[in-house]
Amino acid sequence: MVVKRKRKERIDRGIKARSDDIFALTSFREMLYVAVPPVLPVLLLLVLPLVLPLYWKKVLISAAVFALLAMSWDFIAAVGMVSLGQALFFGMGAYTTGVLDHYAGLPIWLSIPLATVIGGFLSAILLLPVIRLRGVYFSMVTLVLPLMIERIIEATALFGGTEGITGIQSFPNQWVEVYLVLVVLLLCLFGFRRLMTSDYGLVLKAVSDNDRAVMSAGINIYWSKAQALFIAGSVGSFCGAYLTHVYMFVGMPAFALDYSILPLASAVVGGMGTFAGSVMGAMILVPLSEALRGVGGLRTVIYAISLVVFIVALPEGIFHYIQRKYHQFERWVEVEG
């Protein structure tokens, strides 16, 4: 007697194989297949501010900032540096723009770009002494550094001490405010994705893969890592500078643990190594956290549980999961046995 069993198969959509080569696109439908994944989310992101109420517009801004921090985290993680201290980058940018605004009286369109570059530079300089540390040792230092700076500001009353600096310029209007961060988000997303497939990005990734081989190939891995820290630090510093002008205030909370942990969670939940995953993660986790505000005391618990659920259910990250589903379909086939 023949027993019929069913087996699940996973098959690449025919177009998947072909779309790797741009010339293979033969129909409008196939072009859509390739164009929809990047274009649709971009349009959605750009339309959202037009339809969201003010409160949720602020949540979108916050999510965009955490998405940028998450991409910054993902970038240096790809170079083998697991940071537990994105708050360092954030705080550096926040205080730099605060100082440039308050003490030097620079206009906002100068203080933000300057803070982005100076903050990135300072972040890289601060981490330079530990750039040779590997794995968990590097992570520990990044975790401690922002907390240490917080205490130093408190103890020395530097830049307003516990009071911080108030009365910082705001954006001319809410449209500039929201679209600036969204445009920077998109630039970083596509910029990072492009960078990592370039030869430069390839070398950076190789550093985390096998640093001895990269060194023996004549490449100064510490210089590469320093450059990566500068790039990631600049992105993080932009976030700090930007939010400082949104809040019109900078203070010790700029170095708070939130700015370290939430980006990491976003990147992991969304899917590491893709940057799009970081954005997705932040766009889910930040609004979720806001929506839970109504719940009261159990908010953190629910939040933590949903984090765990995401990670257990989709260990590859949301982005990788969706990508896989988009390019493959599954079907049941009968097997005889």
Partner 1 sequence: MVETSQTESPQPLLRVKELSKSFGGVRAVVAVSFDLYPGELLGVIGPNGSGKTTLVNLITGLVKPDAGLVEYQGRNITGWMPYRVARLGIARTFQMVRPFAALPAFKNLIIPLFSPRVRSLSGGKYGDRDSVAKDLLEEVGFERDSSVTYKPAGSLPHGYLKRLELAKCLALRPDLIILDELFSGLSIAELAGILPIIEKLLVGGTTIIMIEHRLRELFRIANRVVVLNYGRVIAQGKPADVMEQPDVKEAYLGTE
Where on the chain is the footprint of partner 1 (CB under 8 A)? 199-200, 202-203, 206, 209-210, 212-221
Q: Least Å distance between CB 303 and partner 1?
A: 34
* 179 versus 223: smaller Cβ distance to partner 1: 223
Residue number, 44 or 217, with CB nearest to partner 1: 217
Smallest distance, partner 1 to C-beta of residue 217, A: 4
Closest CA to 265 of 299, 301, 306: 306
Nearer to partner 1, 219 or 322 (CB): 219
Q: Which is nearer to partner 1, 224 or 244 (CB)?
A: 224
- Least separation in angstroms between CB 205 and partner 1: 8
One-letter amino acid identity for 125?
A: I
Q: In angstroms, give the least distance from the CB of 21 to partner 1.
A: 13
- Residue 208 or 234: which CB sits closer to partner 1? 208
CA distance 116 to 184: 12
Q: How far is the CB of 126 from partner 1 (least distance, A)?
A: 22
Please identify, using beta-carbon distances, which residue of 156 and 216 lies nearer to partner 1: 216
Crossing angle for the helix pair 86-102 and 258-270, to the nearest 10 degrees? 130
The nearest distance, CB 109 to partner 1, in angstroms, is: 36
Q: How far is the CB of 95 from partner 1 (least distance, A)?
A: 34
- Residues 71 and 264: their CA atoms lie apart, in Å, by 9
Nearby residues of 323 by Cβ (< 8 Å), 6 or more positions away: 37, 274
Instruction: Reduce the secondary structure of the chain to three states and give it as a string.
Output: CCCEEEEEEEEECHHHHHHCCHHHCCCHHHHHHHHHHHHHHHHHHHHHHHHCCHHHHHHHHHHHHHHHHHHHHHHHHHCCCCCCCHHHHHHHHHHHHHHHHHCCCCCHHHHHHHHHHHHHHHHHHHHHHHCCCCHHHHHHHHHHHHHHHHHHHHHHCHHHHHHCEECCCCCCCHHHHHHHHHHHHHHHHHHHHHHHHCHHHHHHHHHHHCHHHHHHCCCCHHHHHHHHHHHHHHHHHHHHHHHHHHHCEECHHHHCCHHHHHHHHHHHHHCCCCCHHHHHHHHHHHHHHHHHHHHHHHHHHHHHHHHHHHHHHCCCCHHHHHHHHHHEEEEEEEEEC
Q: Considering the complex, what minimum distance in angstroms separates the CB of residue 47 from partner 1?
A: 36
Residue type, 168: I
* In the complex, minimum distance from the CB of residue 318 to partner 1, in angstroms, rounded to a whole number: 22
Query: Nearer Cβ to partner 1, position 219 or 248?
Result: 219
Strand partners, 165: 250
Nearer to partner 1, 110 or 215 (CB): 215
Amino acid found at 55: Y
Residue (69 or 221) nearer to partner 1, CB: 221
